[in-house]
Amino acid sequence: MLREGKRGAGKGGGRRMDRKSKFIFKGNAYGRAPSIGWKNCNRPVRNSGAVRWLRRENNACNVAGDRYRPARNLPAISSVKLDQTAVPRYESLEMTVTLDATYANPFDARQVSLDGIFTGPGGVELKVPGFWDGVSAWKVRFTPSLEGEWKFQLTIKDSRGTGAPFAGSFTATSSNLHGWLQAGNRINPEYGGHYLVYQDGAPFYGIGHCDAWTILNAGFSAEKGVTLFDQMKAAGENYVVWWPLYSNSLIGNSYDNYSSSSAALMDLIVKDAQKKGVFLVFTIWDHPELRGPGHPWGDGNWAGNGFNQLGDINSFFTSDEMWAWQENLYRYIIARWGYSPAIGLWQTVSEINGTNAYDQTNPWHDKVNAYFVANDPYRHPTTASMSGDVDWPEGHKVMDAPQVHVYNFSNGSLTVDAVKTAQIIAGWTQVMWNQADKPNWVGEFGVAGNEYYPELFHNALWAALGAGAAMTPAEWNSGAWGEMTPEMSADTARLGRFVSDIPLAEWNPSALQIASKDPQVRGWGVSGTKGGLFWVQDFSMQGKSIQDVRKSPAVRKGVVLEISGLAGGTYAIHPYDTWQGKYLDAFDVNCADGTPCTIALPDFKADMAFRVERK
């Protein structure tokens, strides 16, 4: 007879049952036979908190009219409730599913799995996993990408096989939403792969920062949502790096029983981000979760990671059973949150050299990355990182959005050089640009405190844009590192206004080579046949203290650039004051194929950006 499994018993914990007779049951909060277990027919059994009598009838048992069928009968879905039947395109649908199945642990997809096939206009088809919400219901979440009728078939599978599909349909209506993010060339082969776009092809440029474990510090309520998201929108930001497992772990107590309270809070955060147009860099593994004894960085949080119940930290990266439960967790994350356009990127691991992966760094990362690529129906881009201002070509080769972390801004005797920051950030951006036709970004950067801000922050953001980054560098915020200041938020807003009408992916730019006749001015830029942008910097104060940098900067006059890479034709040049956030008078230049284009710049202080449009 089926009995309640003991959690963690053996490798498959919680799956013990008598081989002679298996029965389907409607479960309690865990979807399984409750604590006093199954008894013989004509004896009381507790189910969903009530004591009921089973009676034998035709070699089966009935409970209050619900038949418990022999194992030869397959699992079944009896009803599906949609929270709406007319869904605006790129908004989300939630289905609540009533089913009969045999399982001891609803979180174990090897025991029981709910899946859906969604077929849309033109035959587009997505396979979407369902999930147990940890409280009382099985659910499936889905976001339609096309207007029109969508049909779905849901199936439930347990140890006896897969039940008959439950079919239905709904309509996706028009909306002004744009959907999730994709690399440009995944949406349109004529678009460049170095930039992200919305799923409907609308242009996107990422502007944001890193609030890894402090995302709720500014305030949160069920009614108003996440205060930080409101602050970000006011500052022109549209993405934030988030470590959900660090302070709100699904697996803090167990590798096979996910925290319902943590998941519910994550639901609210993801839903609010979607509502407010904020993209989350959703981090699967922050480095402390996978760091144990013996690591040079210290012990990390491995002791609080439920996977430690399966084995030691080294086996996490090599054991087949560890991997099976990792796949189970990744499936659950995709099922519960992958539906949302607010998932900007899956960050599979942050700073993998801060974990105990060691010689498994590349093999393990490859497996995790491949799982999300193969199983996420919305194909949110993947990313991951190392720390320590290092390149990671093996990782960059497989992930969708390469990144580096940059914290070294020293220059000779200077611990921090706010002016040289531009050259450092641009240099790393160019390394990644040259490696692959993929969106790249600096996933973390910064220095502690605010002494070198806003200048260091300003130079990092604009240099990255000029050198070809798909998103602004993500400045680290927390504790001694400080938080976003009003001056920094004003800077992101000014950059946002500048890039808002530049469709970089559509223009499919190449890197420009910029030479200045003024030896104290340098620049970086990108342009395609339709146009692009460039940014120039007066670096005469490089190597000077921040106090000297802040003294009244000199006005650079008569600067002339020679730019290689602009196709022949006439261009409108739109100068933009990056500190005031306003355009100056535009002017035209004529360029010839095969020769550098000469551009005389207007007078400027510190730096200036330029939008380039071919006429």
CATH of the domain at 103: 2.60.40.10
pLDDT at 9 over 50: no
Which of 125, 155, 173 marks a domain boundary? 173
pLDDT at 31 over 70: no
- The pair of structure tokens assigned to 512 is 């420009």
- Give residue-wise pLDDT tens across range 403-437: 999 999 999 999 999 999 999 999 999 999 999 99
The pLDDT of residue 425: 98
The pLDDT of residue 72: 62
pLDDT at 5 over 50: no
- Cβ–Cβ < 8 Å for 289, 299: no
Least confident of 15-19, 149-153, 290-294, 363-367: 15-19
What mean pLDDT is predicted for residues 491-516? 98
The pLDDT of residue 553: 83
What mean pLDDT is predicted for residues 597-603? 98
The pLDDT of residue 21: 29
Q: How far apart are CA 514 and CA 440, in angstroms?
A: 21
Where does the pLDDT of residue 30 fall: very low under 50, low under 70, confident under 90, or very high at 90 and above? very low
- Cβ–Cβ < 8 Å for 445, 407: yes
408 in a structural domain: no
- The pair of structure tokens assigned to 453 is 């801000």
What mean pLDDT is predicted for residues 185-214? 97
pLDDT at 568 over 60: yes
pLDDT at 319 over 90: yes
**Local structure of 147: helix, strand or coil:** coil
469 in a structural domain: no
Domain extent, residue 557, equals 510-614
- Cβ–Cβ < 8 Å for 495, 579: no
- Give residue-wise pLDDT tens across range 341-380: 999 999 999 999 999 999 999 999 999 999 999 999 999 9
585 in a structural domain: yes
What mean pLDDT is predicted for residues 97-109? 97
| pLDDT higher at 483 or 15 | 483
| pLDDT higher at 341 or 222 | 341
According to the 3-state scheme, what is the secondary structure of 442-491?
Answer: EEEECCCCCCCCCHHHHHHHHHHHHHCCCECCCEECCHHHCCCCHHHHHH
- Cβ–Cβ < 8 Å for 430, 468: yes
Which of 156, 173, 190 marks a domain boundary? 173
pLDDT at 49 over 50: no
Total domain count for the chain? Answer: 2
- Please, what is the average pLDDT of the chain? 90
Q: How far apart are CA 400 and CA 344, in angstroms?
A: 12
Confidence (pTM): 0.88
With a pLDDT cut of 70, the percent of the chain lying above it is 88
- Give residue-wise pLDDT tens across range 325-344: 999 999 999 999 999 999 99
95 in a structural domain: yes
The pLDDT of residue 64: 34
The pLDDT of residue 222: 86
Q: What is the CATH number of the domain that holds 600?
A: 2.60.40.1180
Q: How far apart are CA 244 and CA 238, in angstroms?
A: 18
pLDDT at 270 over 60: yes
Nearest in space to 431 (alpha carbons), one of 398, 402, 394, 473: 402
Main-chain phi, psi angles of 374, to 5 degrees: -80, -25
Helix spans in 376-475 (H): 393-398, 421-435, 455-467
Which of 149, 173, 197 marks a domain boundary? 173
pLDDT at 137 over 50: yes
What mean pLDDT is predicted for residues 543-566? 95
Q: How far apart are CA 527 and CA 573, in angstroms?
A: 12
